[in-house]
Amino acid sequence: MSDEFDDLRSLFDDEEDEEGHPAADNLPDTGDVSDEDAPRLDTGELSGRLGQLDWQQSGGDEADAAASSSGLGVTGQLDWQKTSGHEPAFTEDVDDWMQEFAEADELAVPDPQAVWDDMPDWLAGDDSHDQPAEPDVPDWLQPDDEVSDATHPERPDWQEEFHAGAETPPDAEEWLAGIGESAPPDLGTALPDVDSDDFLNLFGTDELEQEDEISEILRDIGLGTPAEPPAEAMEEVDESWFADEEPAETSPELPAWLTEIEDFGPEDAAPDDVALPANEDFFSELENLDDLRAAVPDADEPLQDIDSLLAGYDTVESGIPDTSERLLDLNPDIERLLADDDSFGFAGDEAADDLPEGLVAELPDWLSEMGASVDELSAAALLRQGQKDRPVEELDERLQALHDAGLNLKPDQEEGVSDLFKSLLPGVNEALPPVPIVRAADSGIAGDLILTDAQRSKIDQLEKMVAAGRLPGQAAQGMSAIDRTYDSPFMQNVFDDAEAAGEEEPRPEAPAASRRRVRRIKIDRLLVTLVVAAAVLLPFFVSSLRIGDLPPSAFVASSAANRAFQQVEGLHVGDYVLFAAEYGPTAAAELDSLTDALLRHIIERGARPVIVSGNAVGLAHVNNLIENIGGEQALEANQEYYVTRYLAAGVIGTRAFARNVVNYVSTDMNGQATNLGVSNIGDFALIVVVAERAEEVRAWAEQVVPSASGVPFVAAVSYAAAPMAEPYVLSGSDSALPGLSGMLVGYRDAYTYRAILGAAGRPPQLLPPAATTPPTTMPLVEATPEVTEPAESATPLPPTEIPSATPLPSETPVLPTEMPTLVPTETQTPTPTTTETPLFPATFTPTPSFTPEAAGAGGLPVITGVINTSQGVNVRENAGREFAVVAVLAGRSTVQIIGRNGDESWYKILLEDGTEGWISASLVTVQSPASPTPESAGKRLPAGMRLQAVTPTPEGGAVVPEATEEATAEVMEAATVAAPTVSVGDSAALPVTMAYQDERWYSMTFGIIVIVAVITLGAVVNILRSLLIRRGRS
Amino acid sequence: MDSTTQGLTILIILFTMVTSVIVTQFIRRRRDLFLLREIPAYTALPMMVGQTIEANRPAHVSWGSAGLGGANTLLTLASAELFYQVAERASIGAAPPILTVSDPTALPLGQDTLRRAYRSRGLLNQYRGSSVRWYPSGPRSLAFAAALTAALGDDHVGMNVFVGSFGAELALVAEAAVRHDQPVIAASDQLEGQAVALAMSDHWLIGEEIFTAGAYLEGTPAQVASLVTQDVLRFLVILVILIPTALAVIETIRGG
Amino acid sequence: MSRLGAAFTTALVIVVGILTVLGLAVGEGLGNLSLIVQTRGLPVITDLFLQVVVVTIATTVIIGIINLLSVHISRITQRKGGWVYSVILVVSALAVMVITLLERAGVLTGRPSLSAILLETVQISIESALAGLVLFALVYGAFRLMRRRVTWWAMLFTLILIILLLGALPLPAVNGLASIRNWLLAVPVSAGARGILLGIALATVVAGVRILIGQDRSYRE
């Protein structure tokens, strides 16, 4: 290391090399840095003279570390200083030099030449250069303890800024320019490797916008320009040796450490082998500072009077707070920083005007953001309002609460505030320790984020402060800090003065939730609702609003709706129809009309609906529906209609049903056995699906219909499902594919359907049971139930010619225990709901009904009657229900009446095989042979009604008693409602009409019109509003 | 089914199996090759959950009438995956997430999903089965919609995700959410519900985007692979539709 | 769940799934595969599985009822928001259950039955009324569709909506719109709907296959 000092020493020898650089011998012998006796700089004295150059105060690694930790890239010291060990390399010689220099009277009237002459050679350089005529010693070199004191309030800002790690000190340029004017011109040759970097380190920054300018100034310093303006002086500067690429080879005698210094930046660690020689010779040179003084050229006027210059700086607002120094000193004054103190120049505008050009732009972003914004109050300003230095007790309640809550938190660790915290934030004795983050055993997406109990407790604390309930809906726990803030008089007007802030109006202690729950009535929503409601309701009351055409009274011949109607119309008596009611209460309002019409039509045709559903509530609803229909027509459950199963599990249940029909229809929804003789899907004559969604139609088409080859499939869907169900409708040519044979849609088709059903002159005849239907459906009947014209030879019978008979004693009823066998294979045996006489004994074989053609064989007037129900009826051995059943007649069959009982409640009939029996009179419509009328003879029963009685005419015709409860019970054991009496001649009756059906249609029409208008209006308004907003923005 | 349909069914299943396995392995090695387009609903969902947590409110997810055993069984599972993603994020909040279902078969699945979400966070002790609620019932149940409308207000819900099987009754619920200033993400496999979701929600998912929750919010190779497999199948279906159509058109043009 | 249990569950799911698929998809006409499936009795096994599913699903209704009652009873006991309505719900549910049981037991024998009356006068009426409310909600939603942002798609949506509504009117003045409406329903709407449904179907297939091969094990912890 001593060699290095030798190198340095040689650098400052008076001898020059070829380039004019001083020889290394000129370097003072600084001695070994490791020598403990090496002279050290008295930092205190130096500080007092030089105005606390911080980098000199600490020096070495400590200063470097402090500077580095400031984060501003400040090194704080020259590179060579870093290698000097823990203490600055300057020794007392330098101090003496400076002291001597300062005390010299010549300093008051600077003799630049003397200063430069006194300067150590290593600083002064070659003596051969011309000295400026008027050396100018900067005033800062003059002692001014008072001003130079760091704590002096009038200490100029630029002194702070010299130590700052921020951008270029504002007046550095001027200062440097001043020095440059008086600097020896060839000073740079003495230190060929000193460049702007070192100077930057002196000012505590590693980047400089005005680096070029500083470099020029440094050249001035080194070269000692004549007394000329800095710009002119710089022109004469030999820039070559200031260039970064200063070749070390130009001075082969330069010590290696000096050349290497150039290459080091603040971020580089000082190599151990580069150490500044600090021997006595080195520092002895510093004693010749008088030369330095002499060498200082005349400076500009401000520099001649450094005191006035420095005093003038007091009024200049630089706008740059010395935050870096604060941090370097580890004694930040946040309060002062945030205080409304002009010394920091937060006025902004004024500071900006005084700042050198380009300097404002160099303000760090965080600093400029903290400063004043144009015409706005920054967040910092708001914070500072009314929050000057006050003790804790005078803070706002919420801040006090926060403070108290923070004190109450018990940290997990006992260590408390770390030393680093204390050093950075002196005066803060309380701090929340960091909460440890516990890693979870299972790594999820963010498995590291686990809340510990401590975190939970803190969250609870925060929740209490904001008065948040833990559980949803839980009442707020008192007033939160936010609520107190809202209640605080401060928030009434942020700009109020202290007097207003002191006012405290008593406010009721209302929960925050209710106070903030201000319901704003949406007028537009209310208006739209009222308008639409009016549009829907008014047609019911205002006839002028009934606009539009009603649905047609008949389907178009080729339409899917007509095909659906024809499918039902083509049902035979006794056919089973699989009826799937796949809708719930939601769609009941729309689909009930279709369901009702279809069921009535099916029943009217003599077929029997077997109802299933995938919707349990829907099944119950349809059950109620058909019970209402059955109540009107005295239908028997599990005989004339079957409400069987709820198909659980959606499409799986539907598929399971298709594969196992027998089990699914063996019991009804109440658990009662149905005794349906259906073995598979193919046994049904028609499949009808009433669905609110197209998915149900699809499920049935895909899961059930393929198993039922040849069985027609008809759907009735809601209006919304129609578009997606339409593709399943088959055309006539591809009827072999599974699909819809017909489809009915919504209320429109329901209206037409019911109109058709109620129309007069509909085809009256019922189709006989289809030949292809299994024999289990109905007993074999040869005679047609239709009776068109009575025999012309028939003569009217006297009204009371029917002989009476004596009822026979009753017999013990026998309950069927198993499904009986009818001709040819099975017998329909409904399960009786009571223990009374069964309708069909187990071993009974139905008897063909009477044919009218054979009646006239005996010459007696033939009285014929027609069974007026589609259900089979009992023929008993005597007049009374307590008698055994001897035969069962098919519904709608013709019988020959040969007698009656006393009260004419029973008729005696003659069966085809000659057997006589008794049948309830109410179940027979007597065909009067004297006055057959087209209306009465063989008239097809109007749908929904069953004629129970015929009003006898004076011209003739049998008197048939009205239906009695007992007679009704012959067919319907459980029926208790007597069927109403309707005249046969009343063909204008439309029992299938719905209440307000026309008004409903008009209401829908008018409602759609109004809805279209509302939507259009909304669209137009929103578009215009958007256009206006855009125009306003542009 | 006829033999052709049977054969095609088995073929499609096998093809899907093979493609899914191959693509999964490929993605495990080269995940960067498969970039997913942005779906705004999934982009907004984590932020919405975060805001809900910050507001100390529960997140609400509803599956509508989606349930197990029916045609929308797999839709229910996909909705469960989405619920898992929401619940896992929301489980750290003070208010537990809420799931409402209309099909009782979805109830056990919902409870199991919620339990998994809490377990993944190590907060199993905070799991409550009552957070999963069944309201009656059935497809397009307006009683369910009415119950949801009340629940949105009573429980002070912070956000809503209606993904499942909804019909037009979604309009009632969505309007209630708007009234309470609650953001809504909605999707449905029913067309009526989809239309309502498009018109009345803040963000929506269309069609098969419901099934992509795992790929977007978690992004495991298997989930991304299912997306890719879907795309492959989709292109195959397009070809199957286009080619015969083109041939038929050509034949028609030639013939007349 | 232990690893062995997890593996067993996964294996069970895969086996049952494959058997069910084979039983459903393979019928007659696939040669040897059909022969194998038929001889092994797979259709029977499949039907058994499906029956198990049906029964299980039907049983979950009970679970739903228990959940409903427990949630609302807890709401009552904890006095949460709207607990009064929970009281009404619990009381009504119990009342309907008791009435139905009594009717099944033959204690209540009125016709029409009390449960039917409750169904028709309460549930059907209320749900029908709610269906009417849906109308207002939909109309209001369409009214403020473009309040948040006006886009071309929103305008197209509104335009088509208006055309479809007008085309449904039975007025002679809008007969021309009826044909446009029919075309819209038949072509773009159906096409779009089919596209969406196809996409859902494809996603369903892929999701199902993932479960079938054990890739998706979200059903177990």
3-state SS class at A240: helix
- Tell me how long chain A is: 1034
What is the interface size between B and C, counted as CB pairs within 8 Å? Answer: 188
Which residues of chain A are within 8 Å of residue C155 when distances are taken between CB atoms?
Answer: 1019, 1023
Distance CA C188, CA C178 (A): 15
Q: In the block, which residue shows the tokens 């709207």?
A: C82
A162 and A103 in one domain? yes
Q: Does the distance separating the beta carbons of B104 and C60 come in below 8 Å?
A: yes
CA–CA dist B217, B89 (Å, integer): 11
- C95/B contact by beta carbon, under 8 A: no
- pLDDT band at residue A231, thresholds of 50, 70 and 90? very low
Asked whether the predicted pLDDT for residue A648 surpasses 50, the reply is yes
C67 CB within 8 Å of a chain B CB: yes
The structure tokens 């080859």 sit at: A709
Query: Cβ of C202 and B233 within 8 Å?
Result: yes
- Average pLDDT of span B19-36: 83
Tell me which of A391-395, A598-602, A745-749, C74-78 is least confident: A391-395
Kindly state the helix (H) or strand (E) to which residue A643 belongs, with its residue range: strand A642-646
Chain C: closest CA distance from residue B255 (Å): 25
Look-up: residue for tokens 């006989």?
A: A768
Q: Is the pLDDT of residue B116 over 50?
A: yes
Nearest CA in chain A to C127: A586
Pairing of strands B98-101, B59-64: parallel
- Choose the closest CB to A1008 out of C53, C81, C169: C169
Number of other CB atoms surrounding residue A63 within 10 Å = 24
In a shared domain, residues A1032 and A974: no
Q: Which of C158, C189, C209, C216 to mutate to test the interface with B (most CBs of B within 10 A)?
A: C209
Kindly report each contact of residues C210-215 with a partner whose C-beta sits within 8 Å and lies 24 or more positions away, as own/partner: C210/B20, C210/B222, C210/B226, C211/B74, C211/B77, C211/C13, C211/C17, C212/B13, C212/B17, C212/C14, C212/C17, C212/C18, C212/C21, C213/B17, C213/B20, C213/B21, C213/C14, C214/C10, C214/C13, C214/C14, C215/B20, C215/B24, C215/B222, C215/B226
Specify if A303 maps to a domain: yes
What are residue A687's DSSP bridge partners?
A: A578, A713
Closest residue by Cα to residue A865 from A895, A833, A829? A895
- Chains with 3 or more CB pairs under 8 A to chain A: B, C
**CATH number of residue A641's parent domain:** 3.40.50
pLDDT band at A196 (very low <50, low <70, confident <90, very high): low
User: Which residues neighbour C84 within 8 Å (Cβ) at sequence distance 6 or greater?
Assistant: none
Structure tokens at A446: 């963010």
Determine, for residues B169 and A724 on separate chains, whether the beta-carbon distance falls below 8 Å.
no
Answer whether B137's CB lies under 8 Å from B144's CB: yes
Confidence (pLDDT) at A886: 81
Amino acid at C203: A
Of A532, A621, A1017, the CB nearest to C119: A621
Give the 3-state secondary structure of residue C14.
helix
> Are A615 and A674 found together in one domain?
yes
Q: Answer yes or no: do A150 and A264 share one domain.
A: yes
Cβ-count burial B49-67 (b if 16+ within 10 Å, e if not)? beebbeebbbbbbbbbbbb
Neighbours of chain C (3+ CB pairs under 8 A): A, B
Reported as a single tens digit per residue, the pLDDT across A953-993 is: 444 444 444 444 444 445 443 333 333 333 333 333 335 56
Rounded-to-integer distance, Cα A658 and Cα A707, Å = 7
What's the CA gap between A119 and A42, in Å, rounded?
A: 19
Chain B residue whose CA is closest to A443: B120
Contact A440 B121 (CB under 8 A): yes
Q: How far is CA A101 from CA A41, A94, A124, A184, A502, in A?
A: 16, 10, 14, 17, 61
Q: Which residue has the tokens 């609650």?
A: B182
For residue A320, count other CB atoms closer than 10 A to its CB: 26
How distant is the alpha carbon of residue B88 from its chain centre? 16
Q: Which residues of C touch B193 (CB under 8 A)?
A: none
Given the structure tokens 């002064």, which residue do they identify? Answer: A124
Does the CB of B7 have a partner CB in chain C at under 8 Å?
Answer: yes
Number of domains in chain A: 6
Model confidence at A802: pLDDT above 50 = no
Higher pLDDT, A824 or A602: A602
Closest CA to A566 of A601, A594, A606: A601
Angstrom distance (rounded) from CA A68 to CA A84? 18
Q: Which two tokens stand for residue A717?
A: 């869907």
Instruction: Say which CATH topology domain B36-219 has.
Output: Rossmann fold (3.40.50)
Instruction: Give, in order, the Cα–Cα distances in Å from A792 to each of A24, A928, A930, B193.
Output: 158, 11, 9, 67
Residue A436 within a domain: no
SS (H, E, C) A879-917: CCCCCCEEEEECCCCEEEEEEECCCCCEEEEECCCCCEE
Whether A639 contacts A830, CB under 8 Å: yes
Q: How far apart are CA A242 and CA A195, in angstroms?
A: 5
Delimit the domains of chain B by residue range.
Answer: 36-219
Q: Are A576 and A665 in contact (CB under 8 A)?
A: no
CA quadruple C17, C23, C29, C32: dihedral, nearest 10: 70
Q: For A926-930, A1026-1030, C3-7, C49-53, which range has the lowest pLDDT when averaged over its residues?
A: A926-930
Q: How many helices and strands, by DSSP H and E, does chain C display?
A: 9, 0
Task: Give me the DSSP letters along A535-583.
Answer: HHHHHHH-GGG--SPPPPSS--TTSHHHHHHHHHHTPBTT-EEEEEEE-
Q: Which residue has the higher pLDDT, A590 or A218?
A: A590
Would you say the ipTM is above 0.90? no
Whether the full predicted model's pTM is greater than 0.90, yes or no, is: no
Question: Which 3 state secondary structure label does DSSP give A717?
Answer: strand
Residues A816 and A714 both lie in one domain: no
CA distance A755 to A553: 6
**Max Cα distance, chain B (Å):** 75
Helix (H, G, I), strand (E, B) or coil at C219: coil
Q: CA angle at residue A775 from A937 to A581, to 5 degrees? A: 80
Average pLDDT of span A465-469: 67
Segments forming the whole domain that contains residue A400: 392-425+448-505
- Residue in chain C closest to A974 (alpha carbons) equals C111
Above 90 in pLDDT, residue A345?
A: no
Domain residue ranges of chain C, discontinuous segments joined by +: 145-221
Which pair of tokens denotes residue A995? 């209440």
Residue A416 φ/ψ region, left for φ over 0, alpha for ψ in the -120 to 50 degree band, beta for the rest: left
Residues on B contacting A at a C-beta cutoff of 8 Å: 1, 56-58, 67, 69-71, 88, 92, 94-95, 119-122, 137-142, 154-157, 167-169, 179, 190-192, 218
Closest CA to B135 of A891, A448, C72, A618: C72
> Could you identify the residue written with the tokens 């129970």?
A948
From A555, A586, A558, select the one nearest A754 (Cα to Cα): A555
The more confident residue out of A455 and B179 is: B179
pLDDT at A478 over 90: no
pLDDT at A220: 61
pLDDT grade for B82, boundaries at 50, 70 and 90: very high
Q: Containing H/E element for A689? A: strand A686-691
Residue of C nearest to B13 (CA): C209
CA gap C126, B172 in Å, rounded:
14
Comparing CB atoms, the residue among A588, A653, A1019 nearest residue C128 is A588
Q: Residue A591 and residue A193: Cα distance in Å, rounded?
A: 100
Q: Supply the pLDDT for residue A763.
A: 57
How many CB atoms lie under 10 A from the CB of residue A502?
A: 9
> Is A615 in contact with B167 (Cβ distance < 8 A)?
no
State the helix-helix crossing angle for C125-143 and B170-179, rounded to 10 degrees: 60
Question: Sign of the C-alpha dihedral, residues A950, A954, A958, A962?
Answer: positive
Residue A297 contacts residue A226 (beta carbons within 8 Å): yes
Q: Is the pLDDT of residue B191 over 80?
A: yes
**Which residues of A are less than 8 Å from C136 in CB distance?**
528-529, 532-533
Q: How far is the CA of A743 from the CAs of A564, A688, A721, A728, A739, in angstroms?
A: 6, 10, 11, 9, 10
pLDDT reported for residue C189: 87
Peptide bond into A954 cis (omega under 30): no
Together in a domain, A1019 and A931: no
Cβ-defined contact of C221 to B119 (cutoff 8 Å)? yes
Q: What is the mean pLDDT of residues A47-57?
A: 43
Same structural domain, A1003 and A960: no
CA angle centred on A328, ends A326 and A329, rounded to 5° = 65
Q: Which of A49-63, A74-88, A907-921, B241-255 has the highest mean pLDDT?
A: B241-255
pLDDT digits (tens, 9 = 90+) for C60-97: 888 888 888 888 899 899 888 778 988 999 999 999 99
Strand pairing category for A894-900 and A863-867: antiparallel
- Is the pLDDT at A1030 greater than 90? The verdict is no
Q: Do C207 and B74 touch (CB under 8 A)?
A: yes
Q: Which two tokens stand for residue A519?
A: 């319901």
Element of type H or E holding A1006: helix A997-1033
Residue among A589, A649, A671 minimizing CB distance to C57: A649
What are the two backbone dihedrals, phi and then psi, of residue A291, each rounded to the nearest 5 degrees?
-60, -35
Orientation of helix C125-143 relative to helix B142-154, angle to 10°? 70
Residues A911 and A974 in one domain: yes
* pLDDT given at position A381: 56
Q: Do B168 and A720 touch (CB under 8 A)?
A: yes
| CA A815, chain centre distance (Å) | 66
